[in-house]
Amino acid sequence: MSKIKKNLAALLEGRSDENFDFSDLCFILGRAGFTLRRGKGSHQIYFKEGVEEIINLQPRGSQAKAYQVKQVRDLIIKYQLEID
**pLDDT digit string (tens) for 14-58?**
999 999 999 999 999 999 999 999 878 889 999 999 999 999 999
Sketch the domain layout of the chain as residue ranges.
3-78
The DSSP element (H or E) to which 36 belongs, if any, is strand 35-38
Q: Is 65 exposed, middle or buried (0-12, 13-18, 19+ CB in 10 A)?
A: middle
CATH number of 3-78: 3.30.920.30
Q: How far apart are the C-alpha atoms of 78 and 13, rounded to whole Å?
A: 15
DSSP annotation of 63: B
Strands laid side by side in the 35-38 sheet: 35-38, 44-47, 55-57
pLDDT of residue 41: 87
